[in-house]
Structure 1
Amino acid sequence: MTQSTTATVASTAAAWSLERYQRVCNKVSKRLIGFLFVCFVLSFLDRINIGFAGLTMMDDLGLSGTQFGLASTFFYIAYIACGIPSNIALARVGARRWIGSLMIAWGLASTCTLFATDATSLYLLRTLVGVTEAGFLPGVLLYMTFWFPTAYRARANALFMIAMPFTAGFSSALSGLILGLDGIWGLKGWQWLFLLEGLPSVLMGFVVFHYLDDRPQQAKWLDREEQTLLQHALDTDRDTNAPVQEHDRSLLAELASPRILLFCVVYFCLVNTLAMIAVWTPLIVKSFNSAGSNESIGFLAAIPQICTIILMIVWGLHSDRTRERRWHLVLPMLLAAAGWILTALSTHASLQLVGVCMAASGSYTAMSIFWTTPDQALSFRARAVGIAVINAVGNIGSALNPLVIGWLKDLTHSFGSGFAYAAILMIIGALLALRLPLAGRIASTAP
C-alpha cells in the first residue's frame, strides 16, 4: 500500500469516527434535552408563577412590595441552603431517583401555596418550595456533564435552558388567562394559578423514574459501541479540561480557592438580573402599561422571552463552533447591562420594553454559556459539590434581589433605581468574567 493510499484510508477512518461521534451526541441530545427541557419548564414555572400571582395576591393578602419580595427571598434562602446537600445526594443515589423525587415534592409544595392567607403563611410555603426545588438545576447541570462532552455543552445548555425564557413567555400568556378564573369554585385567580401550574410537576416526577438513565453504560437505547465512544469522549474531557488533579490538594481547599470564588461572584452578579426578570417582569411591564389588562400584560411580558430564546440558541451554537467561552459570556452580560440602563433612562414605553428585551436576552444567554465553564476549574471529584457551591453562593443574588428591588420600589415608587442596581452588578460581573481561568479555545474530544 502506498503512502498516499495509507493516508487516504486513515483520513476516511477518522471521518467515519467523527461522523459516528457526532451521531451519538445528536442521539443523546434528542433523547435527553427535550425531556429535561419539559422538566425545567415545570420547575421554572413553579418558581416564577408567584410573579403573576402577585398581580392580585398582593391586594387579596394585604402585602406590601417589601413583603411580597421577602417571600421570594425566603424561597432563595432555602434554595441556597439545600442545593449542596441535594447535589451530594444526587451523586450518590442517581439522577433518576433523586430528580423524580424532587419533582413530586416541589409540585406538591407549590400547589399548597394556594392555601396562603397572609404574609407569614406565604413565607413558610415559599420556603418549602425552595427546599424541595433546590437540587433540580444544579443536579441537571451535573447530570449533563455525565452525558455531553465539553465541546457540545454550550448548545446542550442553551437548548435546555431556553426552558427559562420559554416558561417566562409561555407562563406570561397562560398565567394571565388563569387569573381570569377568579371566583370559580370559590377560588381566587391566583389560587387557580398555583393549583394548575403545580400538579403537573407531581405527575412528571413519576415519569422521570421510568425515563432517565443515570449513566451512558445503563442506556439501553445506546448500543455497546455508542456507549464506548461516548464514554471515551467523556473520559478524555476529564483528563484534559480540568486543570486541578485530584491528588494536588484537598477537596475543601479546591472549593475554597480564589478561582472558584471568582466563579461565585460572577454568577452572583448575573443572577441578580435573572431573578429580576423572573419575579418582577409582569409588574415592570404593568408599571409602564398601567391601563392594560392582566391578559395584555401577559402577552407583552412574553415578548422579551421570545427574543431571549432566539439569542440563546444562536449564541450557544456559535460558541461551540468557535470553541470560545470568555467573550461569549462577557458580551451578553454587557448587553443586559445596556438594557437596564435604557429601561431606566427612557420614558417611552416602547423603548422601555426594548430595554427589558435586551436585559432578558443578555442575561439568560450569558447563563447558558456560564455553565459550560466551571468544569474547566474543577477536578472531576469536586464537580458535584463545586457546581452546587457556585449555584448556591451565586443565588444569594436571587435571595437579595426581590428584597432590594421591593424596598427600592417602595422607597422611590418606581423601578428606576432597581434597574440601575441590576445594571451596575452586570457591568461588575462582566469585568470579573474577563478574569475567569478559562482556556482560549476548548479542546476537541472528537475521535
Structure 2
Amino acid sequence: MGDTGEIDVARRAMNKAMLRILPFLLLAYIMAYIDRVNVSFAALQMNVDLGFSATVYGFGGGLFYIGYALFEIPSGAMASRFGPRQWLARIMITWGLLAVGMIFIRSAQQFYLMRFLLGAAEAGFFPGIVYYLSHWFPKAYRGRAVSRIYIAPALAGVVMGATAAPLLGLDGLGGWRGWQWVFLAQGLPAVLMGLAILRFLPDRPDEVDWLEPDEKAWIADVLARDAALIGHADRHDLLAVLANPTVWLLGCTGFLLNGAMNGFVLSAPAILAANGGLDTKTIGWLVSLGGFNGAIVILLAGWYSDRTGDRLRYAAAFGAIAGLGLLLIGLAPSPGAVVAGYLMQTAVSFAAGGLVIASWPDALPVRQLAMGSGAINTLWQLGSFGSPYAFGAVRDTTGSYHAGLLGSAGLALVYAGYVLFVRARIRRMQNR
C-alpha cells in the first residue's frame, strides 16, 4: 500500500474509532469524576447538618483514594482477565449504586465507610480505559484519544458547577436536604451508563462491522509496530510489573501531582467562599468556567503532544503553571486575584496529569499495560489521600486555608521538576 493509500486508511479507521468509542467513554468518565468529587459541593450543607469538622471531612474525602489504591491492581488484573468492556460496566454499576447510597449517611463513621467503598468500587476504572484504548489507537493517535477522554474531569466541573447550586436549592423537597439530592441526581446516571457500555461498547477492532478489512488490518499492523518499539515483556505478573522501574517513575509523578491538587479540589467551593467571598451560585458558575477552560487546554495539549511526541515536557510546564495559580490563591489580597488564580489552576491542572497518563502506553510493554496502569494509579491515589486530610487538619488548626494552599503550590512545582527527570530517565532506558 502506498503512503497516500495508507494515510487514507489511517484517517478513516481513526475517525470511525473516535466517533464510535470515545463518546461512550467520555460520558462514563464524566459521571465517575462527578461522583468522586460532588461531595465538595454537598459539603457546603452536609458538614453543617452532620457536624463534620474540616478534619473529619478531609479524612473522609481522602478515604476514597485509599479504597481506590487498595483495589487498583486487583481490578487491573480483572480487566485483563475478563476484558475491559465487561469490567468497566461492572465498575460503573457498582459505584453508581454506592454514590446514591451517600444520601443515607448520618455519622462520621458512615461517611468514612461510604467514601472508602466508593473508592474500592471505582478502582481500576481509568486504567481500564487506558488499557481499552491501547487495543484501538496507535501511539501517533493515542494522545488525542486519551485527551478526549481526559477532558472528562474538566467537563465534570462544568456539569457540577451548573447543577450543584440548583440541586442544593431543592432543600426540603420530599423531606430531603439539598446535599442528598446532589448525591441522588448525580449517582443514578452511572448505573444506566454501565448497562449501556455492556450492551453497546465493542471489545476489539476485529469484532466490529463498521471497520473495513483494510482498516482493521492497518490498526493491527501499527499497534504491533508500536509494541515492538517498546519491547516485549516475557512476564506480566504482579512481581514483574513491580520490578519495572518505569512503573515506579510514572507512579511517583501522580503521587506528587495528586498530593498537590486533590486537597484543593475537594475544598475548592469552601476556599472560594472563604478567600473570595463568593456565594454558592457564583461559585458554581466559576467552577463551570474553570472546567470549560481546562477541557480546551487538554484537547489542545493532546493534539500537540501527538505532533511532537513529547508529552512529559508539556506536563511539567502545566504543573508549574498550576502551582503558580495555587500560590496566587494563597497570597491573593483581593477576590479578583482569587478568581484569577483559580482559573489559572483549573485551566492546566488536568492537562498536567493527562499528558503523563497518555505516556503510559508509550512507555510500558503492552502485556504489562493493564496491571502496570493499575500499579501506577495506585501510587497516584495514595497521593490523593493525604492531601484532603492535610488540608482539613491545617484549616482546623490555623483557621484558614492559607498554609494548605502554599504547601500545595510548592508540591506542584516539585512535580514539574520531577516530571522532567522522569522524561530523561525513560528516554535513556528506551535508547539502550
Residue 43 (str. 1) matches residue 32 (str. 2): yes
Q: Aligned equivalents of 1:274 and 1:210: distance in 2?
A: 36
SS at match of 1:432: helix
> Closer, same or farther in 2 for the Cα pair 1:165/1:274, shift >3 Å?
farther
- Report the number of matched residues: 428
> Closer, same or farther in 2 for the Cα pair 1:257/1:135, shift >3 Å?
closer
Contact 1:346/1:352 (8 A) holds in 2:
yes
Alpha-carbon distance, 1:420 to partner: 1.4
Deviations 1:8-47 (A, max 9, x none): xx8xx21121121122112111111111110011111111
> Closer, same or farther in 2 for the Cα pair 1:428/1:247, shift >3 Å?
same
Give the aligned partner of residue 329 of structure 1: 315
Q: Aligned equivalents of 2:241 and 2:375: distance in 1?
A: 12
Give the aligned partner of residue 271 of structure 2: 284
Contact 1:269/1:429 (8 A) holds in 2:
yes
Alpha-carbon distance, 1:397 to partner: 1.2
Give the aligned partner of residue 220 of structure 2: 231
Q: What are the equivalent positions in structure 2 for 1:190-229 lying under 5 Å apart?
A: 190-229=179-218
Give the aligned partner of residue 310 of structure 1: 296
Q: Aligned equivalents of 1:388 and 1:189: distance in 2?
A: 35
Q: Aligned equivalents of 1:251 and 1:136: distance in 2?
A: 18
Give the aligned partner of residue 340 of structure 1: 326
Deviations 1:156-209 (A, max 9, x none): 111111110111122012011100000011000001111111111111111111
Q: Aligned equivalents of 1:250 and 1:65: distance in 2?
A: 41
Alpha-carbon distance, 1:304 to partner: 1.8
Contact 2:9/2:214 (8 A) holds in 1:
no
Alignment match of 1:135 (pick from 95, 99, 124) = 124
Q: What are the equivalent positions in structure 2 for 1:21-60 lying under 5 Å apart?
A: 21-60=10-49
Give the aligned partner of residue 69 of structure 1: 58
Deviations 1:38-71 (A, max 9, x none): 0011111111110100000000000000001111
Q: Any gaps of 5 or more consecutive residues in structure 2?
A: none
Q: Aligned equivalents of 1:98 and 1:254: distance in 2?
A: 21
Aligned-residue CA RMSD in angstroms?
1.9
Contact 2:246/2:364 (8 A) holds in 1:
no
Q: Aligned equivalents of 1:321 and 1:438: distance in 2?
A: 19
* Counterpart amino acid of residue 286 in structure 1: A
Q: Greater shift after overlay, 194-203 or 304-313?
A: 304-313
Q: Aligned equivalents of 1:249 and 1:279: distance in 2?
A: 35
Residue 412 (str. 1) matches residue 398 (str. 2): yes
Q: Aligned equivalents of 2:139 and 2:357: distance in 1?
A: 11
Give the aligned partner of residue 108 of structure 2: 119
> Closer, same or farther in 2 for the Cα pair 1:326/1:296, shift >3 Å?
closer
Contact 2:85/2:132 (8 A) holds in 1:
no
Q: Any gaps of 5 or more consecutive residues in structure 1?
A: 1-9
Residue 261 (str. 1) matches residue 261 (str. 2): no
Q: How does the TM-score come out when normalised to structure 2? A: 0.95
Alpha-carbon distance, 1:269 to partner: 0.9
Give the aligned partner of residue 365 of structure 1: 351
